[in-house]
Amino acid sequence: MPTEQVQAIEDARKEAKQTVADAKREAAAIVSAAAQEADALLLTARDAVQRRKVLSDEILQDAREKAEQTIAHARREAEAIRGAGAKEAEAMVQKALDTATRRADDAAQATLATVVQETRRDLLDAQEAEIEKLFGAARARLADRKAYDYPAVLAGLAANAIASIFADQVVIELAAADRAIATEAWLAEVRKRVGREVSISVAPEAAPIDGGVMARSADGRLLYDNSFAARLRRLAPALRRDLAAKLFAEKANV
């Protein structure tokens, strides 16, 4: 083989080796640059992750703090509401107790008033019963004309009736049982008791009374009922007061 060819082949080999070496170096440089870039990217990614983690932790911590603040505020509000509710409930209970006490007092007062009224009514009924007994006894005694000086009592009743109508001519009416008492002497006693001049006559018919006398003017315009029944009716209020005072004074001293 000629020397020129051998030299050319050798040169080609060297050039090829140099090209391969250059290619390797370039590849190594590319790989190194890629590795550095990858490392930089990895660091950037790690830094981003770290920052994100830190940020997440901060956000989480802030959220926790806000949640705790919200919970604490809610608890305070709940306690305040509970306290207000307790106070309101206590006030309502006290109001109910006051109302119940007032109603109980009112009921007690009403019951007491009722008892007092019933006692007073029973007392008055007892008084009235006692007084009626006395009135009954008085009527019975008046009806028993032999138990007292009836003509003198009748003369006094007649004089009182005549003096009350202020008439010069008077007609007196008597019970059927009393007509025989009206003698001239008895009429003279009546005129004497009247104390003035007056003409007295006895009605031809008996009066519908149990005792006493009724006097009327001769013209019939004036009438005074002084019968036992009418006199007791007029005197009843004063007699009841006197009898009640005496009865209860006696019972109080017993």
- Tokens read off for 213: 């006398």
What percentage of the chain carries pLDDT values higher than 90? 33
Write down the pLDDT at residue 42: 52
SS3 8: helix
Q: What is the mean pLDDT of residues 6-26?
A: 71
Number of Cβ within a 10 Å radius of residue 172: 23
Number of Cβ within a 10 Å radius of residue 245: 10
239 φ, ψ (degrees, to nearest 5): -65, -40
SS3 track for 119-172: HHHHHHHHHHHHHHHHHHHHHHHHHCHHHCCHHHHHHHHHHHHHHHHCCCEEEE
> Which DSSP helix (H) or strand (E) runs through 222?
none
Beta bridge partners of 202: 172
pLDDT for 181 beyond 80 = yes
Amino acid making up residue 200:
I
Say if residues 233 and 216 touch (Cβ distance below 8 Å). Answer: no
pTM of the predicted model as reported, rounded to 2 decimal places: 0.49
Alpha helices in the chain (DSSP H): 3-143, 150-165, 184-194, 228-253
Q: What is the mean pLDDT of residues 45-64?
A: 64
Closest among 206, 134, 198 to 160, alpha carbons compared: 198
Do the strands 223-227 and 212-217 form a parallel or antiparallel pair, or are they unpaired? antiparallel
Q: How confident is the model at residue 61 (pLDDT cuts 50, 70, 90)?
A: confident
